[in-house]
Structure 1
Amino acid sequence: MKGKVYIVGAGPGDPGLLTLKALDLIKTTDIVLYDRLVSDQILDIIPNNVKKEYVGRNVGDNYTHQNETNNMMVKHAKEGKNVVRLKGGDPFIFGRGGEEAEFLREKGIDFVIVPGITSAVASPAYAGIPLTHRSLSSSVAIVTGHEDVQKDKLVVKWKELTNAVDTIVILMGMGRLEQIVNELISGGARNNTKVAIIESGTTEGQKTLFGNLGNIVSKVKNSNIKPPTIIVIGKVVSLAEKLDWRSKNNA
């Protein structure tokens, strides 16, 4: 009898944001295949009798790495094991969950999708930045800054985004930050448009760098901010100081 694969979102890092369903699954499954962005605190919750295998992929890793992960899921399921494919954030928000589900369907393996809280929403919230606000933002775009290397060309229309939405949230954007900023300004964004870069959001190591489109690149170069990061661009960033609930709660 075949096992089943559960494609599970582990949330943004804070173990308190793990869903009840995800918590139950990682405690009762046969094996957990986990990504680089799953926090150590969440991995510590997994019982010793549940096998853990790291399948994380770093920028620059061989592209075939994903194929190996896909085949591992199928192999374990065909052996009758229940598999939790544990991903940081939400598996359907730049988490390759859709691609993995397609592969499982093609191979005749049953799967279940368990959503998680995406860092695109949680990290700004932990930095006191609401992505929407009746006075400041009626629209949000969540965009990847690191597109598939096998694409013939980049398809994110940065210049068009400038005038299309009030708030832009960028995942995996540090490597192309300067290019992204230049394209947004070329599209009409003002140099004084506010920017926040949040590192390791929702974790104890969270820190935020503030600036604007005119100075954020130089600020990053003079800082020690590093991935994983969430970049937020728009007027809502101006609320961060007023709504900084974490610092005030820890004071």
Structure 2
Amino acid sequence: MAEHPAYPVGLRLTGRRVVVLGGGQVAQRRLPALIAAGADIRLVSPEATPSVEAMADAGEITWERRPYAEGDLADAWYALIATNDTEANTAASAEGERHHVWCVRSDDADLATAWTPATGHSEGVTVAVLTTDARHRDPRHTAAIRDAVVEGLRDGTLVAPHRRTRTPGVALVGGGPGDPDLITVRGRRLLAEADVVIADRLGPRDLLAELPPHVEVIDAAKIPYGRFMAQEAINNALIEHAEQGKAVVRLKGGDPFVFGRGMEEARALAEAGIACTVVPGISSSISVPGAAGIPVTHRGVAHEFTVVSGHVAPDDARSLVDWPSLAKLTGTLVILMGVDKIGRIAETLVAHGRSPGTPVALVQEGTTAAQRRVDATLSTVAEVVVAEEVRPPAVIVVGEVVAVGPHGTV
């Protein structure tokens, strides 16, 4: 057998009997993929790990709590032999050979009739890497190749263009707080496949430099508005390019639906009959404080956190925030887009009961190389913002969690 390479093939196991002998760590790793393949799985083992037992309790597999016995493989299409009993493994392999059942053996791959490849998944594609020559088997090498291919597909560094006609559509992609490494793998992949990218200034700008030359990058802040409102012009640009059959990505900072006006764009696309995919992003309301060493919740300090927009002042008739109620909360308050209004916000919070000594942190350009943190209290924050020349974008955190951290006082 070692003189000839293995023949790679994909098994369609839906509804077909698969026998797994042994309920240890090998079974625990392999069972999820067999379950996902829709196999009719029978586990034969006196014992099982808690995770494998949970699969049986959930009805995902049938567990017979006993050792292997002759005849267990008679009606199987495929078998995973993974017990710690060499004699049982050998007997099961022999039975599989007699019944023409492909058998994987965890204890001795050279005696197996089938090998399990190193597999990974990316957007409907399974990548399987298999050493075809038994004389040069190196599981770590095949796993490393698998990881490199899957990671490249996921982060967009390995681009495999779709050859079939694509349905025109737009992806609303949350780019995260600023660090290009914090975009989701799906967002990065869609960005790599885009024909047109309409980007906010707060999106991860460094990713735009990685796009191929043919990709049209449009700065949303520079779209000619004419008689339209800015958002309406952006909506129209999304629709126009999508109707031309192009793959369009609307790259936004943070998450599209956290003060990102993503739903306005999704509604406009729906009205125009354009397919829309929403890719959530890491919100700056949580990630930026974390990057600055501030947890928005902490045991014994804060059991809640509230995220509000500070783009209009508390005394502005347009404000939808109940600032008096927020002042009565004891948890963490995270304020976005509030640098120029923080003085009036602090006054309102104190006027309605929040202590003037409540810690405040302002994190400017969070998660980027330009990140900096400025600390104050509600009573001093208005002066500190001016003295330290804090500029947007900055996330403001109000609460005792500001003092929590490696060098904190709580």
TM-score in terms of structure 1 length: 0.89
Deviation at 1:142, TM superposition (A): 0.6
Q: Distance in 2 between matches of 1:29 and 1:42?
A: 12
Task: Name the structure 1 match of 2:397.
Answer: 232
Which range moves more in the overlay, 228-237 or 62-71? 62-71
Please, which runs of 5 or more residues in structure 1 have no aligned partner? Answer: 244-251
Q: Distance in 2 between matches of 1:71 and 1:186?
A: 44
Task: Name the structure 2 match of 1:27.
Answer: 192
Q: Distance in 2 between matches of 1:193 and 1:47?
A: 49
Deviation at 1:56, TM superposition (A): 2.8
Q: Distance in 2 between matches of 1:168 and 1:106?
A: 36
Q: Distance in 2 between matches of 1:25 and 1:50?
A: 12
The 1:103–1:147 alpha-carbon spacing in structure 2 relative to 1, beyond 3 Å, is farther
Q: Distance in 2 between matches of 1:240 and 1:173?
A: 24
Task: Name the structure 2 match of 1:78.
Answer: 243
Q: Distance in 1 between matches of 2:167 and 2:192?
A: 20
Deviation at 1:63, TM superposition (A): 7.7
The reply to whether residue 173 of structure 1 matches residue 358 of structure 2 is: no
Deviation at 1:135, TM superposition (A): 1.0
Task: Name the structure 2 match of 1:159.
Answer: 324
Identity within the alignment, %: 38
Task: Name the structure 1 match of 2:214.
Answer: 49
- Deviation sequence 1:67-98 (CA, Å, 0-9, x none): 10000011111111111000011101001111
Q: Distance in 1 between matches of 2:202 and 2:216?
A: 18
Deviation at 1:15, TM superposition (A): 1.1
Q: Distance in 2 between matches of 1:147 and 1:216?
A: 17
C-alpha contact (below 8 Å) 1:27/1:50 kept by paired residues: no
Q: Distance in 1 between matches of 2:353 and 2:246?
A: 53
- Deviation sequence 1:120-165 (CA, Å, 0-9, x none): 11110110000011111110111001159xx953121111101235
Deviation at 1:226, TM superposition (A): 0.6
The 1:214–1:63 alpha-carbon spacing in structure 2 relative to 1, beyond 3 Å, is farther
Q: Distance in 2 between matches of 1:165 and 1:90?
A: 26
Q: Distance in 2 between matches of 1:91 and 1:165?
A: 28
The residue type equivalent to 1:41 in the other structure is: D
CA RMSD across the alignment: 1.9
Which has the greater radius of gyration? 2
The reply to whether residue 136 of structure 1 matches residue 136 of structure 2 is: no
Task: Name the structure 1 match of 2:368.
Answer: 203
| SS of equivalent to 1:32 | strand
Deviation at 1:203, TM superposition (A): 0.3
The 1:116–1:66 alpha-carbon spacing in structure 2 relative to 1, beyond 3 Å, is same
Please, which runs of 5 or more residues in structure 2 have no aligned partner? Answer: 1-165
The 1:147–1:221 alpha-carbon spacing in structure 2 relative to 1, beyond 3 Å, is closer
**Within 5 Å, which residues of 2 pair with 1:69-148?**
69-147=234-312
- Deviation sequence 1:39-83 (CA, Å, 0-9, x none): 3312222222211000038xxxx9811110000011111111111
Which range moves more in the overlay, 222-231 or 233-242? 233-242
**Within 5 Å, which residues of 2 pair with 1:236-251?**
236-240=401-405, 242=407
Task: Name the structure 2 match of 1:246.
Answer: none
TM-score in terms of structure 2 length: 0.56
Deviation at 1:232, TM superposition (A): 0.2
